[in-house]
């Protein structure tokens, strides 16, 4: 057994996923991932983050973790076709998760008008 197989077996055991558990498919909505760490003020080692530091998701590690217990992983991302960074991120998602496993939809922008009532 190589290290990767050992690691996967260890994680599956800790998650209590036994061999006869059945088929697992993962569906990831990246809009939710963006908010996972919004309010975190410490890193993985409990070190305080500076005011302009934020935790980020490593897409390859997310994919590798999902592959440990999922037969297939698909990821959803609402992209902005007018934004080069958004299109670049879609390219990266397809590179990591595979072209057929990335589902995109054009981001819909809704104008919100907030007015203050004056008495």
On whether residue 113 sits in a domain, the answer given is no
Straight-line distance from the first to the last Cα atom of the chain, in angstroms, rounded to the nearest whole number: 74
On whether residue 42 sits in a domain, the answer given is yes
- 24: Cα within 13 Å, side-chain hemisphere: 14
Residues sharing a CB contact under 8 Å with residue 62, sequence separation 6 or more, in sequence order:
28, 33
On whether residue 79 sits in a domain, the answer given is yes
Mean of all residue pLDDT scores within the chain: 86
DSSP 79: E
On whether residue 32 sits in a domain, the answer given is yes
Q: How confident is the model at residue 62 (pLDDT cuts 50, 70, 90)?
A: very high
Percent residues over pLDDT 90 in the chain: 31
On whether residue 119 sits in a domain, the answer given is no
On whether residue 20 sits in a domain, the answer given is yes
pTM for this prediction: 0.71
Which residue has 């998701």 as its token pair? 57
pLDDT for residue 102? 95
Which residue has 């990246």 as its token pair? 30
Domain that holds residue 7: 3-106
pLDDT for residue 34? 67
On whether residue 112 sits in a domain, the answer given is no
On whether residue 99 sits in a domain, the answer given is yes
CA 31 to CA 54: how far, in whole Å? Answer: 16
CA 33 to CA 27: how far, in whole Å? Answer: 12
Strand, helix or coil for residue 69: helix
Strand, helix or coil for residue 17: coil
Counted domains in the chain: 1
């Amino acid at each position: 057994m190589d290290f990767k197989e050992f690691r996967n077996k260890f994680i599956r055991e800790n998650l209590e996923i036994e061999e006869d558990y059945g088929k697992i498919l993962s569906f990831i909505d990246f809009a939710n991932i963006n908010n996972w760490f919004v309010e975190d003020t410490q890193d993985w080692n409990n070190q305080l983050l500076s005011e302009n530091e934020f935790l980020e998701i490593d897409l390859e590690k997310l994919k590798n973790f999902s592959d440990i217990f999922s037969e297939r992983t698909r990821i959803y991302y609402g992209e902005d076709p007018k934004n080069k960074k958004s299109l670049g991120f879609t390219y990266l998602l397809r590179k990591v998760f595979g072209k057929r496993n990335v589902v995109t939809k054009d981001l819909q922008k809704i104008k919100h008008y907030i007015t203050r009532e004056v008495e």
